[in-house]
Amino acid sequence: MNVLVTGGAGSGKSAYAEGLACSLSTQRRYLATMSAEGAEAQARIERHRRQRAKGNFETVECAGTLPTGDYAGVVLLDDLGNLVAQALFAPDGSMADEQEVLARLDAEVGRLFLHADHVVVVGNETGAEGRSPYEGTQVWVRLVGSLACRIAARADAVVEVVAGIPYPIKGAIA
């Protein structure tokens, strides 16, 4: 089963996705995409580490690219926003080509869907807060949304989490 879990910041989507991953397999790989830049990011990373320690996940740190290979079990990718940001923005502040990043990340997630028994992808609801005056943010919003649309089209199920409550949008969760 391949599932996209989406929701706004702080909605509970990661906790829901981790619980779902635990229900799908006892073999669990967690693809962590957040970089520890700043105290707030480090605190979120530590909270997520404590949260997933209960689920006995093997953690793989991903910096803008996803690992390849077969995996017997469930792969949890958390989250698209951080993955896109790392692939899009270089340390010097320059941006990669939007369409190249979209094509590459779409192919990498597609390979996950083909080479793992189950994949749970945590997405981000972006753009609802209005248009940013910053070009980089506009590109990031477009990329995250476009990638989520592509993943949702291939996923068996899509769930939106609002205030900790999961709302199925597509398919059924087994």
Tokens matching residue 133: 């005056």
> Two tokens at 1?
């089963």
Report how far residue 142's alpha carbon sits from residue 97's, in angstroms, rounded to the nearest whole number: 13
Beta-sheet strands, E only, within 80-163: 116-122, 157-162
Domain segments of the chain as ranges = 2-170
Give the integer Cα–Cα distance in Å for 152 and 125. 13
pLDDT of res. 173: 86
Note whether 24 and 76 are within 8 A (CB): no
pLDDT at position 97: 95
pTM of the predicted structure, to 2 decimals: 0.89
What DSSP letter does each residue of 61-104 carry, written as one string?
E-SSS---S-EEEEEEEE-HHHHHHHHHB-TTS-B--HHHHHHH
CA angle 130, 132, 135 (to 5 degrees): 145
What pLDDT shows up at residue 49? 72
d(CA 134, CA 141): 11
CA distances from 75 to 40, 53, 124, 139, 171 (A): 26, 15, 18, 27, 19
- Number of helices followed by number of strands (H, E) in the chain: 5, 7
pLDDT of residue 66: 87
pLDDT tens over the chain, length 174 residues: 999 999 988 899 999 999 999 999 999 999 988 766 767 767 777 776 777 677 788 888 887 788 888 888 999 998 899 899 999 998 888 999 999 999 999 999 999 999 999 999 999 887 666 676 688 888 989 999 999 999 999 999 999 999 999 999 999 886
- Please give the Cα distance from 35 to 83 (Å, whole number): 10
Q: Report the CATH fold assignment for 2-170.
A: Rossmann fold (3.40.50)
- Beta sheet of 71-78, edge-to-edge order: 58-61, 28-32, 71-78, 116-122, 2-7, 157-162, 165-170
pLDDT at 154: 96
| Residues catalogued as catalytic | 48
